[in-house]
Structure 1
Amino acid sequence: MSKTYISLQGRFYLTPIVAGVVGAMRELGNVPEFSLEIGAEVIEHNESMTGQRTVDFTMVQTTSVNFSGQLEQVDEENLKYILSGMNYEVAIQTDKTESLGVVKAGDEIKLGGYNLSDVTFTDSAEPAVAIAESKYTVDLVFGTVKFKEDISTPVVAKFTTGAVTHTTLASDFSSEYQLFFKGINTANGDNVAVTLHRTKKSPETEFPLIHEELGSYSISGQALSDVTKMVDGNLGLYGYMVTIPKAA
């Protein structure tokens, strides 16, 4: 009798679903862990004839399919997915002006932008007088300034910002994606495909900001049923798995 074992590796893809239309697939990068969990709520009936109240009938009332996994590639789209956020492209702003108020030695202040250039500080006199560069230190990348001396008159900053991408936190709970897995069973060489028609990611996650090794980020979510697939039963309401035999 032949034995069939399974040891899967493969690639995962997400496809956004907009207004019911499935778009182009996007590969998620290396996914070291991914699993499906099938759940059910079962009604049990106990007979009352033998005195032992045994279960003589069961009925599946509801079903569920959940997923969980780990993502290692953190590009802009994966970051948006992990954080349940939205990406916004923030354009360059030239000659941006901000009032910082009166500052004291040791004050560090965040300016409104990143990758700054053409940074100057003046006091609020008329006419304005430039503040000497020896009185402050600017971190151009992160857009912060630290003052070395007290400035008794309100300080005005002027600068140009760089173009950056903002990814919001916990702001997108409605996006749906089709999930597709291209896998290989390394135990026998067969290929395996899995499709989940509709999925929604859970907003619950952990996102460490300090690492000793490469970051790996947990994701989880739920597969939603697609009642349009009832017409073709072999597609399943939640999705389906395909075993593709190794070519002869």
Structure 2
Amino acid sequence: MTAQNLVESKYYSGQGALLIAERDATTGKPKGYSHVGNVPDLKISISVSVTEHKESTTGQRAVDKRITTETKVNVSATLESLNKENLAKALRGTAAAVVAGSAVDEPVTAYLGKTSALAHVKVSTVVVKSTDETPVTYEAGKNYTVNPEAGSINILTTAEQTAAGAAVNIEDAEELEVSYSYAAQETVEAMTEAAKDYCLRFEGMNTTEDNKAVVVEIFKFSSDPLKELSLIGDGIGQMTLEGSAQADLTRLTGSKYFREILEA
């Protein structure tokens, strides 16, 4: 190839934002995109399954025809923003915001030397009482200790309560009533929803080409439930959203899977 025939290479190194929207089942259109936060890795991979036919004439049993029997378009996105909305999508769950409030006489069973969970986290002004007709108010540090961040109480053993100078000991398996205040918090209930279809949109740039715009639209995406949710680690937590771009049969022209738009 002579120098005159060489074609300039177009290199690519991408950065940008991933957006996700619920897909309208009737129109196939996105119902408003939301930014998912930082995404250090985003990939589309295409695979096909084929059936090969072999001729029976030459003695070579040569493959003379390939028929595509399946087309798959897989999408993988690594998310670093583990907010309630992203977690709910990844876990096929439901997210909710809980306003600050108070719990009154929440029932808790005491187990000596063990921890019992409260219904909320970030608790304060904890009061623990017996369920007697004339209730006994137990003493923090003498009958029990509180983990206010996690929302739990640890019942001291009989020996520990006596040594701490408790006026009345909590008995094993005793039913208690716990009252407290709690701060605003968020919850995600995992695996409560059926699979949903989403639209994905990558609003990116090619950093090797003066940050020219690169946009990718995936018309119908369904994710698998999260394979792994790491809870302890030394680095920034991540979760990988994996699924497939399905054929969007509402599209009458162009690709039914995705399209890429490049700034000229």
TM-score using structure 1 length: 0.87
Root-mean-square deviation (Å): 2.1
List alignment gaps of at least 5 residues for structure 1: none
Deviates more, 1:94-103 or 1:161-170: 94-103
Q: Percent of counterpart pairs with the same letter?
A: 27
- CA distance 1:42–1:138, shift in 2 (3 Å): same
- The Cα of 1:127 is off from its aligned counterpart by 1.6
Alignment correspondent of 2:82: 74
- Count how many residue pairs are aligned between Structure 1 and Structure 2: 241
Correspondence for 1:97: 105
CA contact (8 A) 2:123 2:183 kept: yes
Q: 2:34 is matched with which residue?
A: 26
What is residue 120 of structure 1 aligned with on the other side?
A: 127
Match of 2:115 among 108, 112, 119: 108
Q: Does 2:152 correspond to 1:144? A: yes
**Could you say which residue in structure 1 is the equivalent of 2:248?**
226
C-alpha distance in 2 between matches for 1:243 and 1:58: 33
Aligned pair partner of 1:38 in 46, 58, 70: 46
Contact kept, 8 Å, 1:114 with 1:140, in 2: the verdict is yes
Q: Conserved in 1, the CA contact under 8 Å of 2:92 and 2:195? A: no
Q: How many angstroms apart in 2 are the aligned matches of 1:90 and 1:205?
A: 27
Quick check: 2:110–2:155 contact (8 Å CA) kept in 1? no
In the alignment, structure 2 segments of 5+ residues that lack a partner are: 1-5, 162-168
Q: C-alpha offsets along residues 8-60 of structure 1, whole Å, 9 cap, x if unaligned? A: 22221111124444211111222111111111122222111111011112222
- Using the size of structure 2 for normalisation, the TM-score is 0.82
Q: CA, structure 1 residues 161+96, in 2 after alignment: closer, same or farther (shift >3 Å)? A: farther
Tell me if the contact between 2:90 and 2:224 (Cα under 8 Å) persists in the aligned partners. no
Residues 74-99 of structure 1 show CA distances to partners (whole Å, capped at 9, x for unaligned) of 22222222333210233455342233
Distance 1:48 1:95, change over 3 A: closer
In the alignment, structure 1 residue 193 sits paired with structure 2 residue 199: no
Tell me which protein shows more strand as a share of its residues: 1
* 1:10 alignment counterpart: 16
Amino acid at match of 2:146: V
Please point out which of 189, 192, 212 is paired with 1:171.
Answer: 192
